[in-house]
Amino acid sequence: MKWDTLDEEPCSLSRTVAVVGDRWTLLILRECFLRVRRFEAFQSSLQITRHLLSERLKKLVRFGILRRVPYSETPKRYEYILTQKGLDLYPVIMAMVHWGDTHMGDERGRPLLHEHKTCGKLFDPVMVCSECGEVLHAKQVHVHAGPGRKEAVG
């Protein structure tokens, strides 16, 4: 597989993996959702090398997930803010957090608790069907080739 063209594959998972499917990007995005915005802050909280952090931030900007916004003119300094496209990754992050809570926990209990401001309660994220609202399970889903697949396959 050629990683440089993974975002053009006729598969939405491949295209997403092309963007967030490396060791650091998801952790950087976690920090973004925790309101981290600046180079030094990412670096010190993640212990990522400055080189890689710089690369990954550029990549996220290039894909339109972060915006690089000046917050000081002299000297020129920038911070990194989630775009709507970036904010839309929230379900991906939350799905992973929930799986980690469920299957990778230890005796210390959950690292973080999530409160839904709308209803005021601590919650778990649940994935449901957009049409009937039922909780989704892999075995109740049937997959069809869509137009993008048919055209790609022939």
Partner DNA sequence: TTTGACAGTTCTATTTTGGAACTATAGCCT
Partner DNA sequence: AGGCTATAGTTCCAAAATAGAACTGTCAAA
Instruction: State which of positions 50-79 bind a second copy (CB under 8 A).
Output: 64
DSSP SS3 for 50: helix
Question: Taking the CB of residue 145, how many other CB atoms lie within 10 A of it?
Answer: 11
Return d(Cα 50, Cα 43) in angstroms, integer.
7
The 8-class DSSP code of residue 81 comes to E
Q: How far is the CB of 11 from DNA (least distance, A)?
A: 16
Look at residues 66, 10, 63, 9 and name the one whose alpha carbon lies nearest to residue 42. 66
Residue 60 in contact with DNA, rule: CB under 7 A: no
Nearer to a second copy, 57 or 89 (CB): 89
Q: Which residues within the stretch 95-134 sit at the binding site for a second copy (CB under 8 A)?
A: 95-106, 108-119, 121-134
Nearer to DNA among residue 61 and residue 93 (C-beta)? 61
Binding site for DNA (CB under 7 A): 1-3, 22-24, 38-41, 47-52, 54-55, 57, 68, 71, 74-75, 77-79
